[in-house]
Chains A and B, each alone.
Chain A
Amino acid sequence: MAQASAAGQVPEQRRDRKIFVWIAFVGAAVALLLLASQAISALDTFSESWNLGLHEELNELKRWVVVNRNSHPLFVFFFEPLSSFIDFFLRRVEAFILWVPWLIVVLAVFLFAERLRGLALALIVTACLFFMGLFGLWEESMQTLALMVTAVLFALAVGIPLGIWSAQNDRVEQFLRPILDAMQTMPAFVYLIPVLLFFGVARVPSIIATVIYAIPPAIRMTSLGLRSVSEDVLEAATAFGATDRQILRQVKLPLAMPMITVGINQTIMMALSIVVIAALIGAGGLGDVVLKSLRRLQVGQALEAGLAIVLMAILLDRLSAALVQGERYSQPQYQGFRLFSEKQRGNRVVEWIERRINRLYVLFRAASDWLTERVRPAFRRKEGFLSDRWLNNHAHWLIPVLVLTVLAILLRLVGMHSFSNLLRLDISQPVDSLVQWMQVNLYNIGDSGIGTGPLRDFLIIYVFQPLEAFLTEQLPWTVVLFVFVFIAYLAGGWRLALSIFVLTVLIGLLGMWSFAMDTLGQTLVAVVICLVIGIPLGIWAAHNDRVDQAIRPILDFLQTIPIFVYLVPVIMLLGTGSVAGLIAAILYAVVPVVRLTNSGIRGVDKSCLESAESFGCTRWQTLTTVELPLAFPSIMLGINQTTMMVLAMVIIAGLVGATGLGLEVYQGFANDNLGRSVEAGLAIVLMAIVIDRITQQLAAKAAAAANVEV
């Protein structure tokens, strides 16, 4: 007995001693660095003389591009043709969408959504479209839609074949995977910089940046979907002598379709978030309205456009998500319109409404059947295109398309194609006066020291400025570097530590050290607040189904909103600057940590909970000894995602005056100093990779330690 317990104590003691040694080592190293930096200033502040001076060469390159745009073969035979092809395509799409009378667009979307998922969805998406018109932003919305259609089509046309290739070929997969990983860590904003260099300011570079940014999910999900088709089914197909091609077309692609549509949905949402930001480099559309009104501080107008973007996001997300959920049932018997769920059966009002709508539908159906009957005898073919059977099978979409086309031409002829000015819901003026009221009344409520103004001042004076001063001035850069490298070593060993060392020093060599520290400080503050809010909320939601159900739609909604739009309401309250960026970052980035804490705790094995209970654990004990340790890997993953999202927002907040790397990029744009922008952009990428690698390794390590798969 005694021996056993003594033997049990030994490793425990050793571990304690090991931790003690580590702490002593870190303390000594930091103290040494602090002392050394007092003596040697090169260790204290990152010397300007080490600046690589990349911006000068880049500006040189930019000038070279401008000069050679019309002569160098790279432009004449590659960039120019590509550019004019995209431009041609975009113009056609936009011209078409703007040609179609607004009523027809609304009707077409309504009918499409109704067929896809029923009346409820149809009403939601139609309302979205309608409100875009009501805000007086129809044309801008359709411009954004045209950009989206073009960018998404290009992204899918490249992404899906690449995904297929990478599913069929392991080498391609191995080659693409790290590239896609890297692409997904980079903030959207950064994608705009290199295209500017080669294409200049216009709509085409926006499309190209969007395609590049939005393509990873299309590739990834296609490959994943194809690869996850069950071996049984593939073997059966092979046993019947199907060729590889036949297997791909008849078996793999149809079975991978749900996954591929998930990829399409993600591609669409990513494309929207960047199409909006691309207003910065001249994409036009709704993003442009937001940007311009923000510059002029017309918050009301910015809010209208921001809302229109949110509506567009909801519209596109709901529609493409409905494609995903489409399940196969054997007999698609039409049951008539059902506006409300089964539960509402027997409610007289509901049934009355449904009967009316159903009557309309029956009428429409009869009309289309009548038309089909008239049209059919004209075609006497037995099989294939335009035969009897073909027409019968395809009547469900042929008829509406025909009717809508005719209607569109008619409306065009009578000139009723643009959204009427009479239908105008102006919220910009009330919002502007609300903002004014808030600025007057909420700034400092009754001089009590409570209000948005004191909050802002407090955050700036007591949090941001000291933190920034601490990170950039008081703390020698070598200490920051040491801490990064040390954490990297703990998380992933020497190799990770070495790569983090190189990447971090590179940030300094770009001449971006102090800006990076500023951004880092804001990121840290926002992440800490996100965790303080998000983890308890996630725990609460995991233990309480009501809370879970209540916050789920809110989280869904927060995740649908494009990153840029968050800034608008925040500015209403807090004005421009880093504080607005901070609040926007918290709203934007709190979602994953809540989600993954919730799902991590809910995913804890029920038998573990049962045994904890059987030992008489209190709820607190169960939480701390069983649930949190087992959910820890999942929470770490949430922290990783949250951190990356905070970083993305802190950078975009440069647009509204938040200091740091984002602002540097933006000022580079504004001052025609693209080299500076690229430097700052590279620093952002480096920082994103550093933070992502470290947090992801910590998550992986946590998962390995808990023997849990995330």
Chain B
Amino acid sequence: MSKVKLHNIWKIFGPNPKYVLESIDPEATPSEIMAETGHVVAVRDVTLDIGKGEIFVVMGLSGSGKSTLVRCLSRLIEPTSGQVIIDDADVTAMDEAELRNLRRHTVSMVFQRFGLFPHRRIIDNVGYGLEVQGVKARDRRTKAHDMLGLVGLRGWENHYPHELSGGMQQRVGLARALAVDPEIMLCDEPFSALDPLIRRDMQDELLNLQQSLHKTIIFITHDFLEAIKLGERIAIMKDGEIVQIGTAQQIVAHPVDDYVLKFTEDVPRAKVLTAETIMNPVEGQARPSGDTVPFDTTLEKLIPRISASNGLLSVVDEQGTVIGVLDRQTVLVALGEAT
């Protein structure tokens, strides 16, 4: 079930974006367009379909247009052309009041540099979205208090943001986004400004929260490891375009080009690749030969299994049907590519 749909989103920065959009040469690279017209093509013809309750990661280097793309979603940046559909409602056609309503109730955002209000206490930062909605002071305090409990910051209500560490500040950012009970959360590199250890904690925390909250999360990052850890699906952006969409395994196993390949090089493949992605598929009905392994067994766990077996493993799906076979050579080759 899809929650958010983007159709052919373009964003061009410059004095006359509409004109550039019409006259654009589909083959031209951004630097050529820049040199020719003085315009920056930040997002280029992006079409996406994001499911309800999914963590969808948009990944790319800085300048690849991912932050612009996510801002087009709630029109913090106005797309030059294209359509954004949320729950069958056309966001791009909304007037100002409807748009504000969407931002107040449906979509909330977590920012890379936190975007906390330095002049408000933590509790009032978390309650800000509710305050904007017009919720009464007492109710929003209760809610904000609950949210602080959820992110483990109870007791810090009356402090000011500058008194908290970076990780704690981003927890506040998270609590603030959650306080309005949004259906969609946009996370713009929320953990990039944090130390590696704290970043890992925050990733775990986000996954934890998601297990009970089931929000639709669109998560921006430039860190591929973060992307494969969090994302059910990952879209990789380059020069404003999406070059590949897929699950972590799909991308690691079959990168579409050198750009994507470069990201996957640092990935511990043994932990990402599964039996399903490296097996030799079998057509039609087949009887299991040798031991069976579930399709989602990681390469790491396949190694002891295959060395203990007679050299052949059958891969089965959820129903126990054999969908492919693995031999020692296949496993070793997959592992070899990993190192």
* Residue in B100, B102, B105, B111 whose beta carbon sits within 8 Å of that of A236 in the complex: B111
* Residue in A238, A250, A257 whose beta carbon sits within 8 Å of that of B103 in the complex: A238
* Residue B43 interfacial (CB < 8 Å): no
Contact with B along A227-268 (1 / 0, CB 8 A): 000001101111111110010001100110100000000000
Q: Name which residue of chain A comes closest to B107, CB basis.
A: A239
A-B contacts counted at CB < 8 A amount to 71
Interface of A is mostly: helix
CB proximity of B137 to chain A, nearest CB, Å? 8
Are A240 and B108 in touch, CB under 8 angstroms?
A: yes
* Residue A380 interfacial (CB < 8 Å): no
* Residue B142 interfacial (CB < 8 Å): no
> A87 CA to B120 CA in the complex, in Å?
41
Q: Name which residue of chain B comes closest to A258, CB basis.
A: B119
Residues of A within 8 A of B160 (CB): 328-330
* Residue A9 interfacial (CB < 8 Å): no
With an 8 Å Cβ cutoff, the count of chain A residues facing the other chain is 21
* Residue B328 interfacial (CB < 8 Å): no
Decide: A240 near B118, CB < 8 A? Known: A330-B158, A330-B159, A331-B158. no
* Residue in A233, A246, A329 whose beta carbon sits within 8 Å of that of B118 in the complex: A233
Contact with A along B109-120 (1 / 0, CB 8 A): 101011111111
Residues of B within 8 A of A236 (CB): 109, 111, 115-117
CB proximity of B4 to chain A, nearest CB, Å? 16
Are A250 and B131 in touch, CB under 8 angstroms?
A: yes
> A593 CA to B102 CA in the complex, in Å?
56
> A236 CA to B131 CA in the complex, in Å?
14
Are A330 and B103 in touch, CB under 8 angstroms?
A: no
* Residue in A232, A330, A331 whose beta carbon sits within 8 Å of that of B113 in the complex: A232
CB proximity of B67 to chain A, nearest CB, Å? 11
Contact with B along A434-453 (1 / 0, CB 8 A): 00000000000000000000
Residues of A within 8 A of B128 (CB): 237, 240, 250
> A331 CA to B159 CA in the complex, in Å?
8
Decide: A255 near B119, CB < 8 A? Known: A240-B128, A240-B129. yes
CB proximity of A572 to chain B, nearest CB, Å? 49
Residues of B within 8 A of A232 (CB): 111, 113-115
- Give the one of B115, B132, B186 with max A CB within 10 A: B115
> A232 CA to B121 CA in the complex, in Å?
17
Are A239 and B74 in touch, CB under 8 angstroms?
A: yes
Q: Name which residue of chain A comes closest to B137, CB basis.
A: A383
* Residue B76 interfacial (CB < 8 Å): yes
Residues of A within 8 A of B117 (CB): 233, 236-237, 251, 255
* Residue in B102, B113, B163 whose beta carbon sits within 8 Å of that of A241 in the complex: B102
Are B109 and A241 in touch, CB under 8 angstroms?
A: no
* Residues 197-253 of A at the B interface (beta carbon under 8 Å): 232-233, 235-243, 246, 250-251
> A331 CA to B163 CA in the complex, in Å?
11
CB proximity of B161 to chain A, nearest CB, Å? 10
Are B118 and A241 in touch, CB under 8 angstroms?
A: no
Are A330 and B108 in touch, CB under 8 angstroms?
A: no
Residues of A within 8 A of B133 (CB): 241
* Residue B199 interfacial (CB < 8 Å): no
Are A241 and B132 in touch, CB under 8 angstroms?
A: yes
Q: Name which residue of chain A comes closest to B122, CB basis.
A: A330
* Residues 119-140 of B at the A interface (beta carbon under 8 Å): 119-121, 128-129, 131-133
CB proximity of A237 to chain B, nearest CB, Å? 7
Are A238 and B76 in touch, CB under 8 angstroms?
A: yes
Are B103 and A240 in touch, CB under 8 angstroms?
A: yes
Q: Name which residue of chain A comes closest to B173, CB basis.
A: A236
CB proximity of B96 to chain A, nearest CB, Å? 9
- Give the one of A241, A328, A329, A331 with max B CB within 10 A: A241
CB proximity of A329 to chain B, nearest CB, Å? 8
> A255 CA to B74 CA in the complex, in Å?
25
CB proximity of A531 to chain B, nearest CB, Å? 42
Are B121 and A240 in touch, CB under 8 angstroms?
A: no
> A254 CA to B108 CA in the complex, in Å?
23
> A232 CA to B128 CA in the complex, in Å?
15
Are B76 and A239 in touch, CB under 8 angstroms?
A: yes
Are B118 and A255 in touch, CB under 8 angstroms?
A: yes
Are B159 and A239 in touch, CB under 8 angstroms?
A: no
> A237 CA to B115 CA in the complex, in Å?
8
* Residues 176-207 of B at the A interface (beta carbon under 8 Å): 176, 180, 186
Residues of A within 8 A of B3 (CB): none
Are B132 and A246 in touch, CB under 8 angstroms?
A: yes
CB proximity of A599 to chain B, nearest CB, Å? 27
7 contacts between A and B (CB under 8 A): A233-B117, A235-B115, A236-B115, A237-B128, A239-B115, A250-B132, A255-B118
Given contacts A232-B113, A233-B117, A239-B186, 14 further A-B contacts (CB under 8 A): A233-B116, A235-B76, A235-B111, A235-B115, A236-B115, A238-B76, A238-B103, A240-B128, A241-B102, A241-B105, A243-B132, A250-B131, A251-B117, A328-B119
Interface residues of A (CB under 8 A from B): 232-233, 235-243, 246, 250-251, 254-255, 257, 328-331
Of all A-B residue pairs in the complex, the 7 with the closest CB atoms, nearest first, are A236-B115, A241-B103, A241-B104, A239-B109, A240-B129, A330-B159, A254-B119
